[in-house]
Amino acid sequence: MYKVEVIASDLIRRESVTPEDGGCQEYLESLLRPLGFVRHSVDVGGIINSIYSREGECEGVLAFAGHTDVVPTGPIEQWDFPPFSGLIQDDMLCGRGAQDMKSAIACWAVAIERLIGQEEPLPTLQMLITSDEEGDSVDGTIRMLEYLEAKQALPDAAIVGEPSSLHQVGDTVRRGRRGVVTIYVDVIGKQGHSAYPNDANNAVHHAVIAGQRVLDTHWGEPFEGFPATSCQITNFNGGAGASNVIPGEATLMIDIRYNPSINFAGIKQRVEAAFAGIKVDLDFRHQAEVFFTPDGDFLDLVTNQIKDKTGIDSNRDTGGGTSDGRFLAVAGIPVVELGLTNDRIHQINERVMLAELTTLTDIYQGIIKHF
């Protein structure tokens, strides 16, 4: 009988700083093969991607999407324990990936093993596991979905195991996310001596003025169920390093998180208007589409199982950053993100209560059983 804390600890001990997998997916294959799963490797560009599939005894195809890569540890000397130890102490599982998101993978695997042991008839199950989520996300989940689409084998719905919960497991599920647009800006002026401004063109002055226009821009109306569209200037550089030199170039980075009241074309139009009359090079990158899973049977199933196992009425949320759920949604798959608490993700001393793993496994088991 599989133990969730053992599997999660084993995964954490495999060093898999993005985009490395560290042997995690081979280890998962050793666990899933005895349960009737077949592994299909969809490795692209050096990224390890695995689709583990098991034919079901009843209708429907349910997928779990997750990632084995983790973010870098940061200064190891600041950790209270080795970050890849998978240490269990004081009823907590410790290490990089404990919350984000190796433990959730373990919970899903154990939930399946329990149901098979109970001889429950199950839907067809897929696990889509990539080592390219914390990095560029170019050759990860999207490549597996392309593979499944070509095989006409896309799932009917998907759970993404990202750590969605705030204070206790199940208090929040992500039913969507805002879209993301990043703009790289090069403002072009003319360098000169600060005593002779008429012979120069100060790129920093233009960047400051246009940057304020961007911040003052109206980014669309509120949209029910979504946070407001937000705009942040995340980087600003200019200057030649001397106080008497007028800079001839300045650069900005702008990050826009948008809700469905606006689209990429509308954002592009507004940013271009803010820089009107300024010599500038604008590089727009549409990093993620906005997506939203509407109320319906699948979302009800997830929240009902949370209620049944915990007594919690879940908040159906669309906050947070990006996730691979965006690729599933673009493929037309209803997607819900449900995982552990997220108070220590990407931090020094990442860890999670063992009790959370038990709760999440129970919830996952109910979702699979009643799908």
CATH superfamily for domain 4-177+290-370:
Zn peptidases (3.40.630.10)
pLDDT the model gives residue 240? 87
- The active-site residue out of 21, 100, 132, 133 is 133
Instruction: Note the pLDDT of residue 322.
Output: 87
Confidence (pLDDT) at 320: 86
- CATH 3.40.630.10 positions along the chain are 4-177+290-370
20, 21, 69, 362: which is the annotated catalytic residue? 69
In this predicted structure, what is the pLDDT of residue 321? 85
At residue 136, the pLDDT reads 87
CA distances 371 to 121, 206, 308, 322, Å, are 11, 57, 15, 26
Asked if residues 63 and 161 have their Cβ atoms less than 8 Å apart, the reply is: no
Distances from the Cα of 9 to the Cα of 80, 86, 197, angstroms: 17, 4, 63
| Contact (CB, 8 A) for 336 and 159 | yes
pLDDT given for residue 7 in this prediction:
98
Neighbouring-strand partners of residue 134: none
Short-list 271, 265, 270, 269, CA closest to 253: 271
Is there a catalytic annotation at residue 69? yes
139 in catalytic set: no
**pLDDT at position 253:** 98
Distance CA 131, CA 128 (A): 10
Predicted model pTM: 0.91
State the chain's mean pLDDT as an integer. 97
Which residues of the chain have a pLDDT value below 50? Answer: none
- Radius of gyration for the alpha carbons in the chain, expressed in angstroms and rounded: 23
Pick the CATH number of 179-288 from 3.30.70.360, 3.30.230.10, 1.10.10.10, 1.10.287.70: 3.30.70.360
Check residue 332 and give its pLDDT.
95
